[in-house]
Amino acid sequence: MIDQEAAENVGAGNPPSQKGEKNTMTDSIDIIDCATLDEFWETMSPIGTRFGRPHDRFIFRGQANSEWHLVPRVFRKSEIDKYKRGMMSTLRDHPGQFFFEWSLLHGFVKYCDAAGLAVPGDSMEFRAYFDQNSITNIHGITSSDWPQDRVVPLMGMAQHHGVPTRLLDWSSNPYVACYHAATTVVTERDRDDVSAQEKIALFALDLNTLSRISGLRHLVVPGSTSANLHAQAGSFLLVDNSGNRGEPFTPDVSVESKLGRHSSLLKKVTLPTMFAGELLLRCNRFGVSAASIFPGYDGVGKAVLESTRAWHFSHPN
């Protein structure tokens, strides 16, 4: 089992390096500010009036800071600066970004082979396609076809084990998204350090109207791809950020930047961060904890520590 704190999982919020960054599209998003935990819980309820109508199809993502925007991890400048080093750092166009992303996935495959672990979607044909010479010939002039569908299961598996990708994790279960928003706060901060103005956020995206939005694709991979994916009712949103050789790659491209006149299709429900501990404990009472969404002993141990932190966060001295 991996170090769960190092992995980016379904509905998880952006890391602290994104704190303070604001999206210029935020004002046009449908924002629901909740003042109490009960109000927040009722608003995000899957049987409530906002997200529980018979024909609704929403996916959810929780973030520990309502000012963070929805940027895939491998697009974040902080991640690029951290991992795209040496000669790789000189490849600043879109195909160069593709090659950086491929190199991370290629490394994941190499270490899976060394450890005797299965690679999702693996076959002789896939290995021939994923070879450096082959894949560079296919995507080295334009990254418009990256990633192909056959790469997505591998990309999803790698993402769930800490490798930055251009996928964003979402869940069809709003409680899972709430868990991720709350646990990030509870495990990394103390209640005394939280100001009254800070908020966490639950994002909801309407799949019924997603086809109207260019540059976003909802991807569902087999549940057997990852135990975490299955347990978290997870799926992915692929954010397009492609271009041709010689065109500079633009980091920090977000979901919000793709919405245009359809920005109201993305809902953001906020809650004062001071309620994060109570939110985590309430998710626990509804059966959503680290023990349920990270199957295995590591998840159980994580649940013990998180519940302890959540109680003390909710009852500061």
pLDDT per residue as tens digits for the range 19-68: 434 444 444 789 999 999 999 999 999 999 999 888 889 999 999 999 99
Over residues 104-158, the pLDDT tens digits come to 999 999 999 999 999 999 999 999 999 999 999 999 999 999 999 999 999 999 9
User: Residue 54: its pLDDT value, please?
Assistant: 86
Radius of gyration of the chain (CA): 19
Summarize pLDDT for 182-230 with one digit per residue, the tens. Answer: 999 999 999 999 999 999 999 999 999 898 889 999 999 887 777 888 8
What is the reported pLDDT for 11?
53
> Is the pTM for the entire model greater than 0.85?
yes
